Amino acid sequence: MSTVHSAPDPSPQHRPARRSWVEQVMGLPVSVLARGSLAHSSRADEAVQSVYAELREVDRVFSPYRPDSAVSRLGRGELSLAQTDQVVREVADRCSWARDLTGGLFDATRPDGYWDPSGLVKGWAVERASNRLAEVADLDWCLNAGGDVVVLCPSGQPFTVGIQDPRDQGRVATAISCRSGAVAASGTAARGAHLYDPGSGRPASGSWLSISVRGPSLETADVLATAAFVAGDGWPEVLHAAPGYAGLGIATDGTLHATADWTVPTDGADR
């Protein structure tokens, strides 16, 4: 999980305007922070509302908890993948890409045979929705979906992204400065043992409480964080699957273990 704060400005008396929004979407809190002279403009609000509308539509289509979603109907055998909308087939292709990227450590097909793309959908959807914010290019933006973060800072002034301590969710274990890109985390602190090893079909467990990944794309960072957590002690090697990604592991004793480039800023997207 990640928390976000604006980095201190060199001249606090000239601190740019800020505005924040938060809604519960896709079963998690989704917050948006805008920073700049247009933060309180109708353009900013319209961009944010379009983000929430897009995420609500994604939830309608992909939520495994909604009986009328395409995912639920696929699970009940009421329709085939070929009969679904193009966006569902696109996500199915992205899940296949994620499985290949991670050597099978990420797999949308659960041990019970049910296709559940939730592990990919959040990062994919939030990254896609963040393009709505980028249309207001003269604002800095930070989009936080349940701890997975996308940062867009055309001003060059960073946001500070805090990495939650999995042993105490009210505490930040460490923080990094982000001018662009994404941070995603995977672990068992918030939802318990919900991750499984596709190879064995058993819940993933080991000596790590959480793995955070930063890089250009939230979708990729989210997939790599999940795969890295499943990999256990070999998690740093998983990040080599895509260029430009770095990680931080928090062990069960609370110690932090970062890859060498964890604090190196990232720019752009690799999708």
Taking only the tens place, the pLDDT of each residue in 146-164 is: 999 999 999 999 999 999 9
Predicted confidence at residue 263, as pLDDT, reads 83
Give yes or no for a contact between 165 and 209, defined as CB atoms under 8 angstroms apart: no
**Sequence ranges of the domains in the chain:** 2-258
DSSP 109: B
* 210 class by beta-carbon count within 10 Å (0-12 exposed, 13-18 middle, 19+ buried): buried
* Burial profile 120-149: b = 16 or more Cβ within 10 angstroms, e = fewer: bbbbbbbbbbbebbeebeebbbbbbbbbbb
Q: Is the pLDDT of residue 5 over 80?
A: no
Mean pLDDT across the chain: 89
pLDDT, tens digit, 9 for 90 and up, residues 241-271: 999 999 999 999 999 999 999 986 555 444 3
The H-assigned helical ranges of the chain are 42-62, 70-75, 86-101, 118-134, 218-231, 235-238
Q: What is the pTM of this model?
A: 0.90
Q: Name the 3-class secondary structure at 169.
A: strand
Q: Name the 3-class secondary structure at 76.
A: coil
Q: Is the pLDDT of residue 215 over 50?
A: yes
Check whether domain 2-258 has CATH 3.40.718.10, yes or no = no
Percent of all residues in the chain with a pLDDT value above 90, rounded to a whole number: 78
Q: Name the 3-class secondary structure at 104.
A: coil
pLDDT, tens digit, 9 for 90 and up, residues 86-124: 999 999 999 999 999 999 999 999 888 899 999 999 999
